[in-house]
Chain A
Amino acid sequence: MMRTSDLVSSAMRALRSNPLRSALTALGVIIGVSSVVAMVSLGSGAQAQVERSIASLGSNLLIVVPGSMRGGGGVRMAAGGSSGGGGGWDSLTLDDATAVAQLDGVIAVAPSQRTRGQVIANGVNWNPQIEGVTPAYLTARDWSVEQGRFFDDTEERQARRVVVIGQTVVDQLFPNVDPLGETVRINGGQYEVIGVLASKGQNGFQDQDDIVLAPLTTVKRRISGRNRRADTVSQISVKAESEQALTRVEEDVTNLLRQRHRTREGEDDFTVQNLSSVSEAMQQTTQVFTYLLGGISAVSLLVGGIGIMNIMLVSVTERTREIGLRKALGARESDILHQFGLEAVALSVAGGVVGLALGVLAAWGMTTLFNLPLVLSPLNAALAILFSGFVGVLFGAYPAWRAARLDPIEALRRE
C-alpha cells in the first residue's frame, strides 16, 4: 500500500518534469475558473449596487407619480389627460398629499415638484435636478443635512429664496469655498444656500447628489410652474411606519386616490410604486444575469477539463513502459489509478487556485471600471476550487483507469 505522501510527491514530480505542458494544460482551467469568479462577482456587484441604490432612496417608501402604469410596462402619460386610462402630468395635487397624510400607518408625506434649471454661482453654470419639497421630504427619503440646516415649514409657506444643495453641486459650484451663506442664481432669481445634504452617491442611473432642494412653494411660484396649475405636484413620497405596514398603506393610498380622482382600477391617472417590489424585480433580473454569466463561464471550465483529459491520455501512452515497470515492481491497480488521478486533480486544482486569483483581479478591475462595489464571497471562492477539483476527478478518471488497467507484460514490451 502506497503512502499518501509518496503519492503526492510522485504526482508532483511527474507534473514538474514537463512544466510547460503542465502549465498549458492547467491554463484551460485557469481561464475557466477565473472567468467564473470574475463574472459571478461582477454580477453580485451589480446586484449589490441595485440593492444599495434602492435602499438609498429611502426605506418603507411608496412613491406616487402621475400617469398610469400598464401591468409592468412603462408609465403612460396620456396627452391632455383625456384618452385611455386618463391622467397626465397634472393629476396629483397638494390636497392629495394632505389626504394621504391622514391615513393610518403613514409617518411622512412629502409632495414634491421636479424641474430643471440653470444654477449659476462663482461664474460657473450647472444643470442639477431642482426639486421643490417640504421639510417632510428628509424624513420620507431617509436623508439628512450634513452642514447648515434645512428650511422649515414657515420658510416653505412663505416661499423664501433659500436652497439646500447636494454634494455634487457643492463640488461643481463651490469647490474651494464654504457654500453656506453663498448665493446662487436660478433662472434669474437669487437664492441663499442654507445647507448641504449628506452624500447618497449614484443610484445606477443618476447622481443623487446632483440636486438642489428648494421649498415647494418657491419652486412652484418662482422657478417653474409658470404654465402649470399652482397646486399640482410631480411626485408624492409616502413613508410607511414599518415594512409590515407597507403593503396595507399601498392599498389604502391607491383606494384613497381612486376615490378622490373618481377612477376605477385600470383607469387610474396615478401610479403607486412600492420600491421594495421594484427592488425585488431588479434583484431577480441581476441574479439571472449572474447565473447566466457564471453558466457561460462554466462552459470554458468544461473545455479546460477536456484539455486535461487529452493531455493525461497522451501522458499515459507516453509512459506506458514506466507504468509496466511500476506494476512489475509491485504497484497495484489502485496505486496507478491514484497516481494518475492525483496528477489530473493537482493540475486542475492548481489551475483553480491561480484562476481564482486572476478572477478576483479581473473582478476588481471590472468593478473599478464600471464603478460597482466589489463583492467577493468566500463561499464562491471555495466552490470554484472545489469545482475545479471535481473537474480534475471527472476528466482524470478515464486516463487514470486506462493506466491502471494496462497489462504489465504488454506495457514492458512497448518501446
Chain B
Amino acid sequence: MDLIVANDLVKHYFMGEETVHALDGVSFTIPVGDYCAIVGPSGSGKSTLMNILGGLDTPTGGRIVIDDADIGTLSDEGLAGFRNKTIGFIFQSFNLLPRLTALENVELPMIYGGVDPKERRERAAGLLTRVGLGERFGHRPTQLSGGQQQRVAIARALAGEPALLLADEPTGALDTHTGKEILALFRELNQEGVTVVVVTHDPEVAANAKRTIEMRDGKIIRDQKNGARAA
C-alpha cells in the first residue's frame, strides 16, 4: 500500500522578475514501511520537496496525496492538523524549546492535538524510554548532549503516532559516532513499521536507508533500492 503518491509535482517561486522551478514535474510513490533517503546538492529542490511532504508548503502544480490527504487542497487549518497527526518532524538543529524539560518537549505536539494531560505525560514518558532516555525526563535541552537532544526530538516526532517520520539532515549536527547511533535508531523504528523519509546530502546517511531518490534541478534523476546496489 502506498503512503505517498506524488504526480507531476511542480513548485514555482517568483524571485523578482525570475521564476524559480524548485520542483519541475516530480512523480514517485513511497509505500508504507519504506525507508527512503532524498539526496541532492543544494538548490536541487529536495528541501522544497521535504516542506511539501511535511505539509509546511503546498505545490503550485501536480498532486500529492499522503495518507489519503491531498496536500494541495488542504486549508491552513487542515495543514496544521495534518502536520500534527500525520507527520513527525526531525530537524538538523533539534529545535527543542530550551525552557521546557525533555518530557514537556515531547508533550508539545500532543498539546496541540488536544490530548488529555495525563495520557500525554504517560505517552511522552513511554517514548523517552523507548529512545533510551528513561532517566532524563526532567532535564532541559541544555543539560543534554547533542545525541540525547536528537533522541528527545525523535521521541517528540513519534508523539502523534505519525504515518511518516520526516527527517532533515538528522545527523548534521552530531559527531560520527552519535550520528551512527541515531541512524541505528531510525532503522529500528523502520523495522517496527514506521515509514521514514530522510533528506540529506551525507552519503552515509543515505546508505542507511532502503532506497535513495536523487534530485537535481527540480527533477528526480535517480531512484533506486540501496539493497540492490549493495548486492
Residues of chain A whose beta carbon lies under 8 Å from any beta carbon of chain B: 1-3, 5-6, 10, 13, 17, 321-322, 325-335, 408-409, 412
Contacts and interface: CB of A to CB of B under 8 A. Distances in A.
Contacts of B99: 13, 17
Nearest to A13: B99
* A interface SS class: helix
A2 B80 CA distance: 12
Contact of A326 (B57, B81, B112): B112
Contact of A330 (B51, B80, B97, B117): B80
Contacts of A330: 80-81, 83-85, 109, 112-113, 160
Nearest to B156: A329
Nearest to A321: B95
A5 B108 contact: no
Contacts of A331: 80, 112
A409 B117 contact: no
Nearest to B76: A333
B117 A5 contact: yes
Interface string B79-96: 011011100010100010
A325 B111 contact: no
Given A329-B89, A330-B83, A333-B77, A2 B114 contact: yes
Contact of B77 (A321, A329, A332): A332
Nearest to B96: A325
B141 interface: no
* B interface SS class: helix
A43 to B, nearest CB: 45
Contacts of A329: 83-84, 89, 108-109, 112, 156
A332 B91 contact: no
B74 interface: no
A359 B198 CA distance: 60
B83 A328 contact: yes
24 contacts: A1-B114, A2-B111, A2-B112, A3-B111, A5-B117, A6-B111, A13-B99, A328-B83, A328-B95, A329-B89, A329-B108, A329-B109, A330-B83, A330-B84, A330-B112, A330-B113, A330-B160, A332-B81, A332-B112, A333-B76, A333-B80, A409-B56, A409-B57, A412-B91
Nearest to A334: B77
A407 to B, nearest CB: 8
B170 interface: no
B54 interface: yes
A13 B140 CA distance: 15
Central interface residue in A3, A10, A332, A409, by most chain B CB within 10 Å: A332
A328 B94 CA distance: 13
Given A330-B83, A332-B77, A322 B97 contact: yes
Interface string B94-109: 0101010000000011
List of 7 A-B pairs having minimum Cβ-Cβ separation, nearest first: A330-B84, A332-B80, A329-B109, A330-B112, A1-B114, A325-B95, A330-B83
Contacts of A335: 80, 112
Contacts of B113: 330
B74 to A, nearest CB: 12
A326 B56 contact: no
A17 B98 CA distance: 11
A320 to B, nearest CB: 12
Given A330-B112, A330-B160, A412 B95 contact: yes
A408 B84 CA distance: 14
Interface in B59-87: 76-77, 80-81, 83-85
Nearest to B77: A332
